[in-house]
Amino acid sequence: MSSGLVYLVGAGPGAPGLLTLRGRECLEQADVVLYDYLANPELLAHAPPEAERIFAGKHGQGPHVLEQADINRLLIDRASEGLCVVRLKGGDPMVFGRGAEEAEILREAGIRFEIVPGVTSALAVPSLAGIPVTHRDWVSGVTILTGHDAADKKETQIHWEAVAQAGNTIVILMGLTQMRRNLSALQAAGLAPETPAAAIQWGGSPAQKTLVGTLEDLADQVASLNLRPPVTVVIGEVVRLRSSVEWFERRPLFGRRIVVTRPKHQAPRLAGLLAEQGAEVLECPTIEILPLDATPLREEIQRLDSYDVLIFTSTNGVDQFFRILKEERLDARSLAGLRLVAIGPQTARSLADRQLLVDVLPSEFRAEGILEAFAQDSLEGCRVLLPRAEGARSILPETLRERGANVKEILTYRSVAPQDGVAAWDKIVAEGLPDCITFTSSSTFTSFLGILDQSREGRSVLDKIKLASIGPITARTIRDAGWAADIEANPFTIPDLAAAITAKL
């Protein structure tokens, strides 16, 4: 029986960008990912689509989905099959993460393993809340504690008197369940009741919430607001610095929930721009891109030299064209001599990624912009190849033909509603109405209406949510359906849409 390898990977404190490069490398080669409650699910996107994903569900309060013995058995069983297994844990696996226990079990079973340190929440979460755990003018040390000991321990291993007398900043992980007991123990050990203290919920995530009080009153504050795990507690004079160091919760979109409706493979760019501004981004793809019969496009690709102009109206059109070009064992050299036209900088960037520069990029990012760009040119007899989506507006090919061009329109893909669209939307609404929904094409909006018709809330929910459109065509589609685009990008690009939302929401 061949032996695989287990990576014990620290996922960091919550923000996907705080995963280490080594951690990402391990995920990219994983056959199996066994992940905890505190590991951001977005990180699973780094694993291959075919990788097995197993949710262990471990957290500091309530029952576990899998008990530790079950987890150990899964690690050994999957690795014994010769598989690459990633054990993904929040924070650092060796800081109250039971990483050492799992490593011992693997060693006893003869399974190879590697420990991949993560950014520990003990240091990162206070920083994200604007609380430095050390400061040359305030404190030179930090003490890290667990908020609750193992259930089978009769007595605590924490020496509260030593902790209180050390004079260090105190960080308590998993600090909610036994918070009142722990804070009382510190007071009983001699720490002043007025010592500044903070509780940070879901540190590093868009749901981060920070409460500041004292050793004496923090537990009451937390109880009154019904904070839920995970909660990190920080105690010490450095808590006073939060007012001048805080930044994470001051970002312009912090606390806002924004829905991105782009296809799953295209969502990350807009989602990333919004997340950088602090938004909680909720992906709810309302369309999927399905290729159409490629035979017509294959035939035209074989006679590209008979055309004068090649027009791309979207990144999806570019993707489909070059997919078939590659299948025909051709490359960009086949486009030599063609005049390349693109609608919008995103489409132009997609061509640039393939080492192709466009000859015409209209200032107006829609079909009318192409017509205006050719306003001074004679199109009589010009041979135009136009690969694009099924159901696209007819104004472009019709007007080009009216001006004498010979236009060959090839439908290369269609937009369809995803099967899980209703479930995805209902899950979002169950957690509270979002503040804004983004639409990057007319099809994302019209398909969303179909999802609403099958959802629990129905279409009326749109009256309570801001709608953001990438441009006038999509805005008109929204308006024709009886609503208004509260936010509209200008120019009509993904970065400008994110900027408009940041400015107006």
State what percent of residues in the chain have pLDDT above 90: 81
Query: What CATH number labels 291-414?
Result: 3.40.50.10090
In the chain, domain spans: 5-119, 123-250, 257-287+417-504, 291-414
DSSP at 139: B
**Tell me, what's the pLDDT at 210?**
97
**Tell me, what's the pLDDT at 46?**
96
Q: In the structure, what pLDDT confidence band is assigned to residue 425 with cuts at 50, 70 and 90? A: very high
**Tell me, what's the pLDDT at 336?**
92
CB-CB contact of 415 with 446 (8 Å): no
Q: State how far the Cα of 223 lies from the Cα of 228, in Å rounded to an integer.
A: 9
Which range is least confidently modeled, 45-54, 55-64, 200-209? 55-64
pLDDT in tens, 10-36: 999 989 999 999 999 999 999 999 999
Which whole number is the average pLDDT over 442-467?
94
Q: Is the pLDDT of residue 368 over 80?
A: no
Q: Is the pLDDT of residue 467 over 70?
A: yes
**Tell me, what's the pLDDT at 370?**
74
Residue 215, both tokens: 């050793």
Q: DSSP readout, 52-115?
A: EEEE----SSS--SS-HHHHHHHHHHHHHTT-EEEEEESB-TTSSS-HHHHHHHHHHTT-EEEE
**Tell me, what's the pLDDT at 373?**
73
Q: DSSP readout, 336-359?
A: TTPEEEESSHHHHHHHHTTT---S
Which range is least confidently modeled, 38-42, 268-272, 393-397? 393-397
**Tell me, what's the pLDDT at 386?**
96
Query: What CATH number labels 5-119?
Result: 3.40.1010.10
**Tell me, what's the pLDDT at 152?**
54
CB-CB contact of 407 with 384 (8 Å): yes
**Tell me, what's the pLDDT at 59?**
56
State how beta strands 231-235 and 196-201 pair: antiparallel
CB-CB contact of 139 with 169 (8 Å): yes
Q: In the structure, what pLDDT confidence band is assigned to residue 415 with cuts at 50, 70 and 90? A: confident
Beta-carbon contacts of 290 under 8 Å, excluding residues fewer than 6 positions away, are: 413, 414, 415, 416
Question: Which phi and psi (to 5°) does residue 493 adopt?
Answer: -130, 165
Which whole number is the average pLDDT over 251-270?
95
State how beta strands 339-342 and 309-312 pair: parallel
| Residue 124 identity (one-letter amino acid) | A
Three-class secondary structure of residue 412 per DSSP: strand
pLDDT in tens, 210-247: 999 999 999 999 999 999 999 999 999 999 999 999 99
123-250 CATH choice from 3.40.47.10, 3.40.50.150, 3.30.950.10, 3.40.50.300: 3.30.950.10
**Tell me, what's the pLDDT at 1?**
43
**Tell me, what's the pLDDT at 245?**
96
Q: Is the pLDDT of residue 169 over 90?
A: yes
Residue with tokens 């650092």: 92
Nearest C-alpha neighbor of 99 from the set 10, 26, 203, 22: 10
**Tell me, what's the pLDDT at 111?**
96
- For residue 360, the tally of other CB atoms under 10 A from its CB is 17
Q: Is the pLDDT of residue 371 over 80?
A: no
Nearest C-alpha neighbor of 413 from the set 253, 249, 221, 266: 266
Beta-carbon contacts of 66 under 8 Å, excluding residues fewer than 6 positions away, are: 54, 56, 57, 58, 74
Which range is least confidently modeled, 79-83, 217-221, 397-401? 397-401
Which range is least confidently modeled, 60-64, 108-112, 447-451, 475-479? 60-64
Beta-carbon contacts of 500 under 8 Å, excluding residues fewer than 6 positions away, are: 468, 487, 488, 489, 490
User: Mean pLDDT of all residues in the chain?
Assistant: 92
* Angle at alpha carbon of residue 414, lines to 47 and 325, rounded to 5°: 70
Which whole number is the average pLDDT over 399-403?
88
Helix (H) or strand (E) holding 503: helix 494-504
Name the CATH architecture for the domain at 257-287+417-504. Answer: 3-Layer(aba) Sandwich (3.40)
Q: State how far the Cα of 489 lies from the Cα of 469, in Å rounded to an integer.
A: 6
Question: Which phi and psi (to 5°) does residue 183 adopt?
Answer: -70, -35
State what percent of residues in the chain have pLDDT above 70: 95
Q: Would you call 147 exposed, middle or buried from its count of C-beta atoms within 10 A (0-12, 13-18, 19+)?
A: buried
pLDDT in tens, 334-354: 999 999 999 888 899 899 999
Active site residues: 36, 58, 174
Q: Is the pLDDT of residue 394 over 90?
A: no
Kindly report whether the peptide bond that precedes residue 397 is cis, defined as omega within 30 degrees of 0.
no
Residue 111, both tokens: 């399974």
Per the DSSP assignment, residues forming a β-bridge with 339 are: 309
Q: State how far the Cα of 289 lies from the Cα of 472, in Å rounded to an integer.
A: 22
> Percent helix, strand and coil across the chain, each rounded to 5?
40, 20, 40
- The pTM of the whole model exceeds 0.85: no
Same fold? 257-287+417-504, 291-414: yes
Q: Looking at the chain, how many residues does it have? A: 505
Q: Is the pLDDT of residue 409 over 70?
A: yes
CB-CB contact of 9 with 28 (8 Å): no
Residue 409, both tokens: 């329109």
